[in-house]
Amino acid sequence: MNDTSAARIWLLHLAVIAALVAAGFLLPDYHRGVFSRILVLAVFAMGYNLLLGYCGLLSLGHAMFFAAGLYGAGLPLYHLGWGVPAAFVAGVAAGGALALVVGALALRTVGVAFMIVTMMFAQVAYLTTLYFTTWTRGEEGLVLPPATRRVGLGDTVVSLSDPASRYAIALVLFCVVLLLMLRLVRSPFGRTLAGIRENEERMRMLGYDTFRAKLAAVVVSGLACAAAGAAYGLLFGYVGSGFASIQYSILPLLWVLVGGAATTLGPLLGTAFMFYVIDYASGLTTAWLVLVGAALIFIVLFFPKGILGTVRERWLTWLP
Amino acid sequence: MGFGPLLLLASLEGLVTAATLALMALGLSLVFGVMRVVNVAHGEFFMLGAVVAWAVSTAFAGHPAIGFSAALIVAPLVVGAVAFLAERLVLKRLNYDPEATIVATIGLLYIVQQLALTFYGADARPVQPPFNLRIQLPWFGYSGYKLAVIAAAGVLLAGVWFVLARTRAGLVMRATQYDAETAQAFGIPVGRVYAGVFALGAMLAAVAAVLIVPVSQAHYLMGRDPLLLSFVVVIIGGLGSLRGTVVAALLIGLSDGIISTLFFSPTLAKILATLLVALVLVFRPQGLFGTAAR
């Protein structure tokens, strides 16, 4: 990787960030609201992408990490009256701890067994949120009152239910995770993960501790997904079991595949694209799940590399 | 009712669950064993079978047995045709790549489920059992139809075993499972075997659904829990092993019936069962009855 290419990569990412900042001022209210959600969910997708794209591990249970962040932040805020920053940290920590345990167990399996094991752990997590209905209110969920969703910054108090600050916070989270991911995948650790994806046996023979590298990848991925979950709960004020269901394990897979696995900007692109497709389709018909299903089949059949993956293959080979 | 009779009732209910579960899980296991494809849409084939059974049986007036018998023939054929098409149009083109096929069958799941919701609706609808017979035991009366379901499942399972172990078609399937490339070299049309196996797997799920639908009801989300339970059965029994699948279905069906009638809340029972199975898969990937790790 030479200097011009590195400069190009940083310029591209800074340009995307600048465009998103500008969008915060230019977009009409409705679309700014939609984009606040997309940015947070793109963080979820980026966390998923680290595992699927860079490490080659297909998990069908990432909803549990999202939900760990969601409940890890939402429950202390709702029941214990914690402040927003403490709740956010608690959510991220819950996701990291869960990822460590699940990773240590699930990584003993490979391939199809890994998918099924992660799916089952996620199912356990989902059922757990239903079982403790007293605290979580199950499917109905908890609505976090706006009064509890305020942060004091110096003298000013920022309310998380205000659309403008909501967009700003989502954007900050997105940028932080995006730049961290960019650094991570270009670091020796990121190269190790890609090596494991291509040929784990060979990496092991070269003396890498592949189990430890994969575990680290699961934990980082879990932390990112939990950060997304915690932010989602705190920003939009709702915490419910639906976010732990299998559907929220499939959606990040779909977003990453659409945008392009193993590309840094693919998750954002895929999330935004599918969000608007579903938004548009649900205006036409209630059967938007058919679209999700058809999109999944269409992508694996004709675009196995996703939008940015195809762009990288055909034109811009330097894309990270 | 005393504890003994209650246990008997729970066991009978468990046997009914086990009967349908064994049929459905056998389909999943066949598809995985021969094609190495994890069919996530298997639960939707089950649901589709029940919905078609409802449609067929309501189309026939007169004695419920006529409609039911028609459903027992039509539903597996329709579901088998859908599966056959899906295999030819999608799975074949993916070269049966394990990860791509999982994504594709998830897509299929969403499409079938949503279409069922759109065209069939969100209501659960009953199907008349072909006969109403109540068998009076000393402690309680029990539905004769449910006993017939258990017997029918037993006969079907024996039939599948016979086909696999004693016929030429079964030999071809086993050869493909053992080594697809060598089978191809010996002139076995592997592609057609795959399509046939995928359709057969779906038909087993559909038959299970037709048998159970007079007891439960046809609903567009009814494929969800049986799918998870089938995974559980197939994993515990060892992927691709017929005997293991049947034993595991009995184990899971009975314990499901007994645990959820007698002891915990159903949610807690589900949590424990799922966790247990995940741990089995982690620490004993060949299953409890499987022989070699694949």
Per-residue pLDDT of B185-201, as tens digits, reads: 998 899 999 999 999 99
* Any A CB within 8 A of B94 CB: yes
Helix, strand, or coil (residue A109): coil
User: What pLDDT shows up at residue B50?
Assistant: 95
**With 70 as the cut, is the pLDDT of residue B240 above it?**
no
CB B35 within 8 A of CB B49: no
Per-residue pLDDT of A267-316, as tens digits, reads: 999 999 888 888 887 777 777 788 888 888 988 888 888 888 888 888 88
Question: How far from B187 is each of B31, B36, B96, B164, CA to CA, in Å?
Answer: 21, 21, 20, 19
Q: Which residues of B touch A293 (CB under 8 A)?
A: 106-111, 114
Per-residue pLDDT of A44-60, as tens digits, reads: 999 999 999 999 898 98
Structure tokens at B106: 């998830």
Q: Is B107 exposed, middle or buried (CB count within 10 Å of its CB: 0-12, 13-18, 19+)?
A: buried
CA distance B287 to chain A (A): 11
- Nearest residue in A to B107, CA atom: A293
Q: Do A116 and B109 touch (CB under 8 A)?
A: no
- Identify from B40, B115, B282 which residue to disrupt to test chain A contact, counting A C-beta atoms within 10 A and taking the largest count: B282
Q: Where are the domains of chain A?
A: 12-244
pTM of the full structure = 0.83
pLDDT band at A205 (very low <50, low <70, confident <90, very high): very high
Per-residue pLDDT of B203-213, as tens digits, reads: 999 999 999 99
B282 vs A105, A112, A293: nearest CB: A105
**With 50 as the cut, is the pLDDT of residue B46 above it?**
yes
Per-residue pLDDT of A179-189, as tens digits, reads: 999 999 889 99
Range with top average pLDDT, A141-150, A230-239, A290-299, B274-283: A230-239
Q: Which residues of A touch B115 (CB under 8 A)?
A: 287, 290
**With 80 as the cut, is the pLDDT of residue A21 above it?**
yes
Q: Where are the domains of chain B?
A: 16-222
Per-residue pLDDT of B159-171, as tens digits, reads: 999 998 899 988 9
**DSSP state letters, chain B:** --HHHHHHHHHHHHHHHHHHHHHHHHHHHHHHHHH----TTHHHHHHHHHHHHHHHHHH--S-HHHHHHHHHHHHHHHHHHHHHHHIIIIIGGGTT-HHHHHHHHHHHHHHHHHHHHHHH-S--B----S---EEE-SS-EEEHHHHHHHHHHHHHHHHHHHHHHHSHHHHHHHHHHH-HHHHHHTT--HHHHHHHHHHHHHHHHHHHHHHHTTTS-B-TTTTHHHHHHHHHHHHHH-TT-HHHHHHHHHHHHHHHHHHHHHSS-HHHHHHHHHHHHHHHHHH-TTTTT--S--
A290 vs B106, B115, B283: nearest CB: B115
Q: Do A301 and B90 touch (CB under 8 A)?
A: yes
Model ipTM?
Answer: 0.80
A297 vs B104, B271, B285: nearest CB: B104
- Identify from B101, B114, B231 which residue to disrupt to test chain A contact, counting A C-beta atoms within 10 A and taking the largest count: B114
- Nearest residue in A to B90, CA atom: A301
